[in-house]
Amino acid sequence: MTDNKNQGDRMSELFSELNTLAENNPALISQAMDRLKSVHRANVFVSNYCNSDIERDNFVTQAVDNPLWKYFQNHHEGKGIWKWEHYFEIYHRHLSKFIGKELNVLEIGVYSGGSLDMWHSYFGPQSHVHGVDIEEACKTYENDHTTIHIGDQSDRKFWRTYNQESHGVDALIDDGGHTHEQQCITLEEMLPRLNPGGVYICEDVTGYPNQFSIFASSLIEHLNRSEWIVEETLQSKNTVFQSAIHSIHFYPFMVIIEKQSSPLTHLAAPKKGAEWQPFFD
Ligand SMILES: C[S@@+](CC[C@H](N)C(=O)[O-])C[C@H]1O[C@@H](n2cnc3c(N)ncnc32)[C@H](O)[C@@H]1O
């Protein structure tokens, strides 16, 4: 009875919010309805997928072999590291390009300090690791290749000060408080500040529905925008977002965004060759 009442209250609140939104922004409601249809379609697809036998024979244990994984597996003493096992293949896939380079790594969420040492060992002596944590106690992990910044990742003022004082970030790992609000604010403040070629990782994006996941997947729509400047040869004017953002990747519990190493100047699909089928112009 109480649950039904709460659900009823929540629905009334939602309808009233929708009304206000519809009055102020009818286009947004139409986008949301289109999205809802696709969300429903995806739910049906995944439900059928999970109930089918199609993948049964493909389930094999993944062999994960990379330096980060070895470091983690062999780490039995000293400062603690706490990571999901399946992250290691993904880290290596997106971060190996930085090994041996001079770079600034920023991890939000220091906890017991072990992951900061892991990053330095993986990237090499040229790397500098920055740790951000809300807990003052984490300051103890500072050394010549590690700087600790004490602050709250959901405080936009903290990030503005951080950016004024920092020399840019090449790889960012958000393993902090894990609420969607903290994750969204950190992305909003820090993704634009990531260096060209930078890699942004947000960890522990769990649960369904997850507001951060919805936020990040909505960014994908902006990678697909097209505004034709020469329709015949498929040339589209790119937005600043498309110029700066290379790709957005989703993994279990993890979202990764890669920035372009140099700005994308245009989007075009010219035809090459001289012989063409007549059925398609
Ligand atoms: C899961 S632990 C980090 C684990 C660590 N990165 C590792 O791999 O071992 C999360 C950390 O985030 C910190 N934290 C929680 N809320 C935060 C916030 N709002 N801003 C910054 N750090 C926060 C906690 O104090 C804690 O040390």
What pLDDT score does 105 carry? 98
User: Could you identify the atom of ligand 1 that is nearest to the CA of residue 113?
Assistant: 9
How many domains are contained in the chain?
A: 2
- Judge whether 280 lies within some domain: no
Q: Are residues 93 and 189 in the same domain?
A: yes
3-class DSSP string for the chain: CHHHHHHHHHHHHHHHHHHHHHHHCHHHHHHHHHHHHHHHHHHHHHHHHHHCCCCHHHCCCCCCCCHHHHHHHCCCCCCCCCCCCCHHHHHHHHHHHHCCCCEEEEEECCCCCHHHHHHHHHHCCCEEEEEEECCHHHHHHCECCEEEEECCCCCHHHHHHHHHHCCCEEEEEECCCCCHHHHHHHHHHHHHHEEEEEEEEEECCCCCCCHHHHHHHHHHHHHCCCCEEECCCCEECCCHHHHHEEEEEEECCEEEEEECCCCCCCEECCCCCCCCCCCCC
CB of 181 closer than 6 angstroms to any ligand 1 atom: no
- Judge whether 279 lies within some domain: no
Q: Are residues 73 and 54 in the same domain?
A: no
Q: How much distance in Å is there from the Cα of 149 to the middle of ligand 1?
A: 12
- Judge whether 272 lies within some domain: no
Tens of pLDDT along the chain (281 residues) come to: 455 667 888 888 888 888 888 888 888 888 888 888 998 999 999 999 888 877 766 655 555 579 999 999 999 999 999 999 999 999 999 999 999 999 999 999 999 999 999 999 999 999 999 999 999 999 999 999 999 999 999 999 999 999 999 879 999 999 999 999 999 999 999 999 999 999 999 999 999 999 999 999 999 999 998 888 877 778 888 899 999 999 999 999 999 999 999 999 889 988 899 999 999 86
CB of 169 closer than 6 angstroms to any ligand 1 atom: no
Q: Are residues 80 and 46 in the same domain?
A: no
Segments forming the whole domain that contains residue 185: 67-267
pTM greater than 0.85: yes
Q: Are residues 148 and 91 in the same domain?
A: yes
List the CATH number of the domain containing 246.
Answer: 3.40.50.150
Q: Are residues 109 and 155 in the same domain?
A: yes
- Judge whether 278 lies within some domain: no
